């Protein structure tokens, strides 16, 4: 585990999104070598009323301590990383994730999440996504606040 101070986090500009889902297809190519998107994408674009919302890991790292085998760590870049070789597939992180961003595909035992690789950013024809450098402690504070903690 590192003491990274910052991390690149995926940011969504809903006003630019047209719902083409190219970002989800690009993400599923990274994680599963397929362009089906949907459940095999760590980024989820969801139609809500007449616009779209995004769900992707904010790299808060609250899942790190819940993993019983230590398969989740924070890399030097600040990105929260799941080591698939260590993971036993217990799904504790999926159930624990406060933003529902730790994902599970039906045909794979290991969960997966956004790794801030930028594939979705590059694939978006509307420039609705970007990677923004944020302070790890600020992300944690925001998540704790949303959960009702001080």
- 3-class SS of residue 116: coil
- pLDDT tens figures, 55-106: 999 999 999 999 999 999 999 999 999 999 999 999 999 999 999 999 999 8
The yes-or-no verdict on residue 145 having pLDDT over 60 is: no
- Rounded CA separation 134/8 (Å): 6
Single out the residue of 8, 37, 1 nearest to residue 123, CA to CA: 37
Domain boundaries, the chain: 6-146
What does DSSP assign to residue 136? Answer: H
Q: CATH fold of 6-146, please?
A: Alpha-Beta Plaits (3.30.70)
What does DSSP assign to residue 78? Answer: S
pLDDT given for residue 36 in this prediction: 83
pLDDT given for residue 3 in this prediction: 80
Single out the residue of 114, 64, 57 nearest to residue 86, CA to CA: 64
pLDDT given for residue 1 in this prediction: 52
CB count, 10 Å around CB of 91?
A: 14
Half-sphere exposure for 128 (CA within 13 Å, toward CB): 24
Q: pLDDT class for 148, splitting at 50, 70, 90? A: low
Q: What is the pTM of this model?
A: 0.89
SS3 content of the chain, % helix, strand, coil (to 5): 25, 20, 50
Hey, what are 81's tokens?
């990383």
The yes-or-no verdict on residue 107 having pLDDT over 90 is: no
- pLDDT tens figures, 7-32: 999 999 999 999 999 999 999 999 99
The yes-or-no verdict on residue 112 having pLDDT over 70 is: yes
Task: State mean pLDDT over 27-46.
Answer: 92
The yes-or-no verdict on residue 150 having pLDDT over 70 is: no
Q: For the chain, what is the radius of gyration of the CA atoms?
A: 15
Task: State mean pLDDT over 93-122.
Answer: 95
């Amino acid at each position: 585990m590192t003491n990274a101070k910052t991390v690149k986090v995926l940011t969504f500009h809903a006003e630019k999104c047209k719902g083409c889902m190219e970002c989800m297809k690009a993400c599923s190519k990274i994680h599963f070598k397929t362009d089906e998107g949907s459940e095999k994408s760590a980024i989820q674009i969801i139609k809500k009323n007449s616009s779209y919302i995004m769900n992707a890991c904010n790299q808060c790292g609250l899942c790190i301590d819940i993993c019983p085998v230590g398969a989740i760590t924070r890399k030097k870049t600040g990105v929260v990383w799941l080591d698939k070789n260590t993971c036993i597939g217990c799904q504790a992180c999926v159930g624990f994730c406060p933003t529902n961003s730790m994902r599970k595909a039906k045909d794979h035992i290991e969960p997966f999440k956004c790794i801030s690789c930028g594939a979705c950013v590059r694939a978006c024809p509307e420039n609705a996504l970007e990677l923004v450098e944020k302070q790890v402690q600020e992300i944690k504070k925001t998540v704790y606040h949303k959960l009702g903690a001080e």
